[in-house]
Structure 1
Amino acid sequence: MRFLIDGDGSPVKEEVIRLGEKFQLPVLIITSVDHYTVKEYPDFVQFIYVDKGADRADYQIVKEIQPGDFLITQDYGLASLVLPKKARVFHHSGQEYLVETIDQLLMQRYIGGQLRKAGKRTKGPKPFTANDREVFYETMAAIIEQTIA
């Protein structure tokens, strides 16, 4: 078991790294070269950088994911591609994407896109707060503890 992070725009990278350290799990962050960093990270954290372009990180994640891995992403489409590979997929809110509900989420995304194309306004996400980060951390810690027990 390891963590994979859809790194382009993920607000919970540091929390996932804390979880990796706490539970001694490797962390793999897959992101575009636009987000290249020289920041020092612990040895259990690895990066894979992909070329710029739509869905490049997603394709790499699908290639890298293994059964039992935990993926953190806010991309419903990516979640739908990874779930059949027997990985567990989570939003940065801590909500787990499930095979039983992913089609509904994809339909909501489609309808929202159609509304925006038609010139309608749709609500965007609320700002991600420090409290949201802590809720994510605590939720994921509990899930990991249940998984490894």
Structure 2
Amino acid sequence: MKIYIDGDGCPVVDITIKVAKEYKLPCTIITDTSHIFNKEYADTITVEKGADSADFKIANLIEKGDIVVTQDYGLGAMCLSRGSKPINQNGLIYTDQNIDSLLMTRYISKKARMAGKHTKGPKKRTADQDKSFEKSLRKLIESLTVKN
């Protein structure tokens, strides 16, 4: 089991690395040239800047049972199809049961933006969100460890 982090705009990189280190799991950050990461314990792979270039790199690297930290529903769907376990920055674990509704929400929001509707951005991140993410990540790791 490995942990991959979609590093483009991910607010929980440090938490993920801390937990990966505690569980002695390999951790890799995938990012494009817009972001620079040099984190102890985690490897970093930098890809060319482009639409979804980091996402496609992750999708090509993952294997069944790997964990992917991403807020991107499209990447989450690709991960599920490959047998890996995607989790978002708030601790929501993407599953076959929730991915369709998440993708539909994304589609509806994109249509609204294209029609000129301004949508609100995310609220300021809280310490409770960080705690929730860490708790969910630990629970996910432990559930996968028990199965293996």
CA deviations on 1:53-93 (whole Å, 9 max, x unpaired) are 11110110011011000000000011111111100010111
The residue identity in structure 2 corresponding to 1:81 is M
Deviation at residue 114 of structure 1 after TM alignment: 1.0
Instruction: Report if the CA contact (8 A) 2:4-2:69 is conserved.
Output: yes
Q: Distance in 1 between matches of 2:60 and 2:39?
A: 26
**Partner of residue 89 from structure 2, selected from 82, 89, 92:** 92
Gaps of at least 5 residues in structure 2 are none
Question: 4+ residue runs of structure 1 moved beyond 3 angstroms?
Answer: none
TM-score by length of 2: 0.92
Deviation at residue 40 of structure 1 after TM alignment: 4.8
Percent of counterpart pairs with the same letter? 40
Residue 139 of structure 1 corresponds to which residue in structure 2? 136
Corresponding pairs, count? 146
Q: Does 1:20 align with 2:20?
A: yes
Gaps of at least 5 residues in structure 1 are none
Q: Distance in 2 between matches of 1:111 and 1:146?
A: 33
Q: Distance in 1 between matches of 2:56 and 2:137?
A: 25
Residue 80 of structure 1 corresponds to which residue in structure 2? 77
Residue 8 of structure 1 corresponds to which residue in structure 2? 8
**Partner of residue 69 from structure 1, selected from 66, 69, 80:** 66
Q: Distance in 1 between matches of 2:117 and 2:69?
A: 30
Q: Distance in 2 between matches of 1:119 and 1:102?
A: 26
CA deviations on 1:34-53 (whole Å, 9 max, x unpaired) are 2123x4512xx111100111
Residue 50 of structure 1 corresponds to which residue in structure 2? 47
Q: Does 1:107 align with 2:66?
A: no
The residue identity in structure 2 corresponding to 1:21 is K
Q: Distance in 2 between matches of 1:109 and 1:40?
A: 31
**Cα pair distance change 1:114/1:25, threshold 3 Å:** same
Q: Does 1:59 align with 2:42?
A: no
**Cα pair distance change 1:55/1:104, threshold 3 Å:** same
Instruction: Report if the CA contact (8 A) 2:65-2:144 is conserved.
Output: no
- Cα RMSD of the aligned pairs, angstroms, is 1.3
Q: Which moved more, 1:121-130 or 1:57-66?
A: 121-130
Q: Distance in 2 between matches of 1:143 and 1:65?
A: 16
**Partner of residue 113 from structure 2, selected from 86, 110, 116:** 116
